């Protein structure tokens, strides 16, 4: 029987930050700390999803509808926050601003055919392994194609995303698997920052998908080697006690809990 490896695009992004973090997440999953940054995104996404499902059901959502969905999601998520990285009131205000910005600036452009669309497809197979990529697309649109929401704390750096964003490559590849259309496709990454929308269109095609397969093959070969540790990356904000859940058992066991 073949061994199955299954990756989400977030796993591949973790590997970009630190290979050792990816190895630990994949081989020994650890409960994630729930932060207010994550919850800001989760609540905003839930509101956008609710609006999309109303449209799919033939109903035009109002701003009060979207506010209501955000409030319901907020009541679910806020009690689960382990780490408030900004005051709760600041998080609430950001969510409200994001909902308003999305409703007025983004929603009028949209015509959904699918909302929160799950995929799970085979990337490649050998005699011994099957490798799959899976994920959930935020929004499939009749005119635009793929649309995805982000609610970060700051404006994204567009040139960086054009060069190495992985999500756009994985999601366009998945759509090509489903449609059988292998021409280059657009992925619309919409970042809403304190209510201000930043629309970035990333175009990915067969050459990007071929490079993706090469990238994943390298990760699978590392996993197959069953090494006890992979290279650790220090060169970024993510290698810190605030951002890495493995800090205490990795670099932190030498530097301590708060070295800076």
Identify any residues that bridge with 186 across adjacent strands, giving them in sequence order: 203
Rounded average pLDDT per 10-residue block, the chain, 260 residues: 93 90 82 87 96 97 96 95 92 95 97 97 97 97 96 88 95 97 96 94 98 96 92 90 89 92
Predicted confidence at residue 139, as pLDDT, reads 97
What is the spatial distance between Cα 106 and Cα 94, in angstroms, rounded to a whole number?
A: 17
Alpha helices in the chain (DSSP H): 9-17, 19-27, 36-56, 63-77, 88-101, 158-164, 167-179, 206-225, 252-255
**Please, are residues 202 and 150 in contact by the beta-carbon 8 Å criterion?**
no
Provide the whole-model pTM. Answer: 0.92
Predicted confidence at residue 74, as pLDDT, reads 95
Q: What is the pLDDT of residues 150-179, one digit of tens each?
A: 998 888 889 999 999 999 999 999 999 999
The full set of domains in the chain, from first to last, is 1-29+112-226 (3.90.320.10), 33-109 (no CATH)
Predicted confidence at residue 30, as pLDDT, reads 73
Predicted confidence at residue 181, as pLDDT, reads 93
What is the spatial distance between Cα 190 and Cα 108, in angstroms, rounded to a whole number?
A: 14
């Amino acid at each position: 029987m073949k061994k199955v490896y299954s990756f989400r695009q977030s796993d591949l992004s973790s590997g970009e930050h630190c290979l050792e973090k990816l190895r630990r997440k994949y081989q020994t999953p650890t409960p994630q700390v729930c932060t207010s940054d994550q919850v800001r995104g989760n609540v905003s996404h839930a509101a956008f999803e609710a609006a999309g499902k109303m449209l799919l059901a033939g109903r035009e959502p109002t701003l009060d509808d979207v506010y209501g969905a955000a409030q319901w999601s907020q009541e679910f998520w806020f009690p689960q926050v382990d780490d408030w990285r900004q005051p709760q009131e600041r998080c609430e205000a950001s969510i409200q601003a994001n909902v308003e910005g999305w409703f007025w600036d983004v929603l009028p452009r949209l015509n959904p055919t699918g909302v929160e669309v799950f995929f799970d497809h085979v990337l490649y197979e050998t005699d011994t392994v099957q490798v799959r990529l899976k994920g959930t697309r935020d929004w499939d649109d009749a005119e635009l194609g793929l649309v995805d929401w982000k609610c970060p704390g700051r404006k994204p750096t567009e040139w960086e995303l054009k060069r190495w964003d992985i999500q756009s490559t994985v999601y366009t590849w998945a759509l090509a698997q489903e449609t059988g259309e292998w021409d280059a496709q657009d992925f619309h990454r919409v970042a809403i920052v304190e209510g201000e929308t930043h629309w970035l269109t990333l175009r990915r095609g067969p050459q990007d998908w071929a490079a993706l397969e090469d990238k994943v093959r390298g990760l699978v070969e590392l996993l197959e080697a069953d090494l006890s540790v992979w290279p650790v990356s220090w060169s970024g904000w993510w290698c810190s006690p605030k951002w890495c859940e493995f800090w205490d058992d990795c670099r932190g066991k030498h530097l301590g809990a708060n070295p800076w």
